Structure 1
Amino acid sequence: MWKALTFFVALAGVGVSMLNIFLKSRHKEHKRPEFVAYPYLRIRTKPFPWIDVNHTFFHNPHVNALPTGYEDE
C-alpha cells in the first residue's frame, strides 16, 4: 500500500508542483506590494548576530523590506 501511495500520490504531487513552478516562472514581471510601515511588523528587539545587524540571513533587497522601507527606493 505504501509503495503504491509513493508512486501514485507523492510523485504525482511532485510533478504537479514542478509544473506549477514552471508555469509561474514564465511570467517575467513580479510587482512587489507597496510598503506600509505597520507598527507590528519588522520589529527588531535585538540586532541579528552577523555583521549587518539589520538584514535577515536570507535577505533579498527586491522582495524583503527593512523597517524603514525597501532598499532600492
Structure 2
Amino acid sequence: MAALGKLSQALLRSSFGQTRRQLSAAASAGHAENASRTWKILSFVVALPGVAVCMLNMYLKMQEHHHEQPEFIPYSHLRIRTKRFPWGDGNHSLFHNDHLNALPGGYEGHDE
C-alpha cells in the first residue's frame, strides 16, 4: 500500500512538473522577446545619442583648451633614474611627450 502511495505521488509530481515547465517556458519566451526589444530601443534612443553627446563635448573642450608647458623646477626627488628604461635611449618613458614630460635635465628642445 505504501508503495502505491509513493508511486502516485511520483506520478503527480512529474505531471505537475512538466506542466509547470511548459508554462514557465512559454512565459520566459514572451519575456525574452519583450526584454530584447526594450534593450534594443534603449540602445538606439539612449546609449548612442549619449555617446555622441560625450564625443561632441570632448571635441569642443579640446578645441578651446591650449596646453602651456609648465615651468621646469629641478626637484631632487622627481625624475630619478636608477635604472634605464628598456626602450629607446633609456631616458624617455614609454609614452613620452616632448611638450609636457620633462627629462632630468629639463624639457627637450629648449635652450635655456
Gaps of 5+ in 2: 1-38
> Rg: which structure is higher?
2
The whole-number CA distance in structure 2 between the counterparts of 1:33 and 1:61 is: 12
Percentage of pairs with the same residue: 54
Tell me if 1:50 matches 2:102.
Answer: no
2:100 corresponds in structure 1 to: 63
Deviates more, 1:57-66 or 1:16-25: 16-25
Higher helix content, 1 or 2: 2
Return the TM-score normalized by structure 2.
Answer: 0.48
Deviation at 1:37, TM superposition (A): 0.5
2:66 corresponds in structure 1 to: 29
Gaps of 5+ in 1: none
Q: Which amino acid letter does the alignment assign opposite residue 55 of structure 2?
A: M
Return the TM-score normalized by structure 1.
Answer: 0.68
2:78 corresponds in structure 1 to: 41
